[in-house]
Amino acid sequence: MEPYKCIIIEDEPLAAEILQDYITDVPFLKLKKTYADAISALDDLSNNDIDVIFLDINLPKLKGLDFIQTLKNPPHIIITTAYHEYALQGYELNVVDYLLKPIEFSRFLKAANKLKQLSSGKPETSAVFTPAGKEYIFVNTSKKQVKIYFREILYIESLKEYVRIFTIDKVITTRFQLGQIEEQLPKNNFLRIHRSYIVSTEKINAYTSTEIEIQNKQLPIGRTYKEQVNGFLQHNLR
């Protein structure tokens, strides 16, 4: 299958850079060009076969939703914005997905897979692409993308809409829900032990039926996870 040809229309350089990195990491997407405003993209849409636009809403000269309405035969469109209040209007314009900033890679990947499913006519239960062989993730913190190697992670703690990632030499706080980051971790190396904690199984120093110890930190095993966690520990750490 030929990769989907993409353009980005985004006036924030950091947001555009993040989208560029994400597109590079998805093998069925190919970035053709990035624009800082919608007007500049019109010629490219007229003269080139573009499959999908990653489109910001709050753009100079011409707003993103107004831009969509100027297109006679628009390609697939995925909205990328910090404004949730335009979601209904976006879906009324038949956009593929509506991504709220800051956009985590797991959410971006879900939108990309939705695009793939729509184009192939397959239902959403079809197999989707998951990055294989990766040894790291990028997370957004302090207005930059930071690479974290899986082998350096000790454990991850939920703070509702945020998580704290404890590594060998630092602690990183990023806007992520624990379930979202769990989807990106290698299943054989990480274990959910509590609604608020995921641990690296390689970093476990000691454990009981109610707690796991990692670098002198005692982490509780949740009651709903107890049977699964104790079963894993008994079969894999003895």
Instruction: Compute the residue count for the chain.
Output: 238
Give residues with Cβ within 8 angstroms of 102, minimum separation 6. 140, 175
The one-letter code for the residue type at 165 is I
Tell the residue number behind the tokens 């274990």, with chain if given: 191
Architecture of 149-236 per CATH? Beta Barrel (2.40)
Q: pLDDT at position 133, please?
A: 57
pLDDT tens track for 152-175:
999 999 987 789 999 999 999 988
Q: pLDDT at position 128, please?
A: 36
Closest CA to 190 of 147, 217, 138, 225: 225
Q: pLDDT at position 188, please?
A: 83
Architecture of 4-120 per CATH? 3-Layer(aba) Sandwich (3.40)
pLDDT at 120 over 80: no
Write down the pTM of the prediction: 0.54
Q: How far apart are CA 68 and CA 38, in angstroms?
A: 9
pLDDT tens track for 131-149:
455 688 888 777 777 888 9
The full set of domain ranges for the chain reads 4-120, 149-236
Burial of 25 (0-12, 13-18, 19+ CB in 10 A): middle
149-236 matches 4-120 in CATH topology: no
Average pLDDT over residues 62-89: 90
Q: What angle do CA 206, 212, 215 make, to 5 degrees?
A: 65
